[in-house]
Copies of this chain bind each other. A is one copy, B any other.
Amino acid sequence: MKLEMICTGEEVLSGQIVDTNAAWFANLMMEHGIEVQRRVTVGDRMEDLIAVFRERSMHADVILVNGGLGPTSDDLSAEAMARAKEEPLVENPIWRQRITDWFARNNRPMPANNLKQALLPASAIMVDNPVGTACGFRVKLNRAWLFFTPGVPFELKHMVQEQFLPFIRDEFAIQSDIAVEKLLTIGHGESSLAAKLEPLSLPDGITLGYRSSMPHIEIKIFARGAAAIAQLAAVTAEVKQALGTAVVAENRQSLAEEIHQRLYQSGLSLSVAESCTGGMITSQLVAFPGSSSYLHQGLVTYSNESKVRVLGVKPQTLDDYGAVSIPVVEEMVRGARELLGSDFALATSGIAGPDGGTAEKPVGTVAIALATRNAVYSQMILLAGRSRELVRSISSAVAYDMLRRELLNEAVIVDYSFIQRYPK
């Protein structure tokens, strides 16, 4: 089966938005053992859309088309497909009802142009979209099935997983004897991870892939075929062994998700006091439903006055050591934990940049602490040459990792190859 993707939309073509849908889709297909062979990105011009549908339908067996199903005048995918196949647009009565119901259910008046979303090419087979008003559909042209999906990432993901994958499995008898294990790492570069894994001799059918989404690098272990799949667990254990403390989670999207799952199941509570990470730790945890069961509070004490008033940091400590220091971050973490008697607290204080650095404490200097009921652990790290965003996200990851290791009864503070620690 030859799979291609067509991405539509002026804003994608013109770089107003980076096409994360395309990367997500190709990535998912690869995890199912299917390669996307070509991706074509075009804007919202009728003749370009018609041309690309006709042209690629001669070469591919399946084409995922993304975008252009909205209600506005620059949403042209359905009409372009109808013209490419030289057939009329026809209103789909089921979808008309769905749109009408959707607006009624949400107590919103339906703008007339939303009905456009029920117009499909005459030969189209409707594809359900349970989470939006854009109707998916598929059309056969020349050798290809063109499968139309909405540009909204959330809707695309639903439709691909619930409709597209089963469709290509049935239609092309794809065998999905592929399995994948994902290890999340922090604090080590791709080449340093690769160097550690090079000595391993992998069984036939097992391959490694790397994906960087800072502050994480994800290592994917693919097993193709029954024999390889049977060895996947053993190989995964070997890889974990070789990588040591770099591995922070298995089959998770992020370290925040790992922490959420562990705390959610534990009955233990957490308070967070953030300075340079500025709410990133708290906000990432709050993103998970159920986080209110363990997260007492997240105090972004950005100013010194706030550290004093809210967390009880001593003005003298701030004067003596400065806000970015081990003594201050330890007072912050104690204060945050004691306010509500939480089981744990995390605190950060650092210089995220681009300004504010000094010779003694350059940009990227961050103090991080963990408080438990019995102890306080702290470290000061230097993330030199990193952007403001990366200083914040790597610091958050290190803080999470301290808590994660404490929850596992492991040494709280470990070395990461690309993170320097003070004092050396």
A residues sitting closer than 8 Å to B (CB atoms) are: 10-11, 13-20, 22-30, 35-43, 45, 48, 52, 70-74, 105-108, 111-114, 152, 154, 189-192, 194-195, 209-213, 220, 271-272, 277-283, 285-287, 289-292, 295-303, 305-306, 309-310, 339-340, 352-356, 384-385, 387-389, 392, 417-418, 420
User: B282 touching A340 by the CB < 8 A rule?
Assistant: no
Q: What residues of chain B lie closer than 8 Å to A26, measured between beta carbons?
A: 13-15
Q: What residues of chain B lie closer than 8 Å to A74, measured between beta carbons?
A: 209-210
Complex Cα–Cα for A298 and B278 (A)? 8
Smallest CB separation, A330 vs chain B (Å): 19
User: B355 touching A289 by the CB < 8 A rule?
Assistant: yes
User: B298 touching A105 by the CB < 8 A rule?
Assistant: no
A353: which of B38, B271, B289, B302 is its contact (CB, 8 Å)? B289
A11: which of B14, B195, B211, B387 is its contact (CB, 8 Å)? B211
Q: What residues of chain B lie closer than 8 Å to A356, measured between beta carbons?
A: 292
Q: A15-B27, A107-B420, A296-B302 are in contact. List 18 more A-B contacts (CB 8 A).
A: A13-B35, A14-B36, A15-B24, A15-B26, A17-B23, A41-B41, A70-B191, A72-B210, A106-B385, A113-B195, A279-B281, A280-B286, A295-B303, A296-B305, A297-B303, A298-B302, A299-B299, A299-B310
Complex Cα–Cα for A35 and B14 (A)? 7
Smallest CB separation, A315 vs chain B (Å): 14
Known contacts A27-B16, A71-B190, A385-B105; decide if A300 and B279 are in contact (CB<8 Å): yes
Residue of B at shortest CB range from A282? B279
The 4 closest A-B pairs by CB, nearest first: A278-B286, A15-B26, A279-B279, A15-B27
User: A16 touching B209 by the CB < 8 A rule?
Assistant: yes
Complex Cα–Cα for A72 and B306 (A)? 46
How many copies make up the complex? 2
Complex Cα–Cα for A35 and B42 (A)? 11
User: A384 touching B19 by the CB < 8 A rule?
Assistant: no
Residue of B at shortest CB range from A26? B15
A72: which of B17, B48, B191, B418 is its contact (CB, 8 Å)? B191
Q: From DSSP, what is the main secondary structure of chain A's interface residues?
A: mixed
User: A303 touching B298 by the CB < 8 A rule?
Assistant: no
User: A340 touching B15 by the CB < 8 A rule?
Assistant: no
User: B40 touching A38 by the CB < 8 A rule?
Assistant: yes
Residue of B at shortest CB range from A271? B306
Q: What residues of chain B lie closer than 8 Å to A48, measured between beta carbons?
A: 37-38
Q: What residues of chain B lie closer than 8 Å to A355, measured between beta carbons?
A: 289-290
Complex Cα–Cα for A11 and B114 (A)? 38
A43: which of B37, B71, B306 is its contact (CB, 8 Å)? B37
Known contacts A16-B27, A111-B195; decide if A209 and B10 are in contact (CB<8 Å): yes
Q: What residues of chain B lie closer than 8 Å to A271, measured between beta carbons?
A: 306
User: B15 touching A339 by the CB < 8 A rule?
Assistant: no
User: B15 touching A305 by the CB < 8 A rule?
Assistant: no
A286: which of B30, B279, B289, B290 is its contact (CB, 8 Å)? B279
Known contacts A71-B191, A114-B191, A287-B389; decide if A42 and B38 are in contact (CB<8 Å): yes
Smallest CB separation, A327 vs chain B (Å): 20
Complex Cα–Cα for A24 and B18 (A)? 9
Residue of B at shortest CB range from A308? B340
User: A190 touching B70 by the CB < 8 A rule?
Assistant: yes
Complex Cα–Cα for A124 and B91 (A)? 53
Complex Cα–Cα for A384 and B272 (A)? 30
Complex Cα–Cα for A108 and B420 (A)? 9
Known contacts A38-B52, A194-B113, A289-B354; decide if A309 and B279 are in contact (CB<8 Å): no
User: A106 touching B303 by the CB < 8 A rule?
Assistant: no
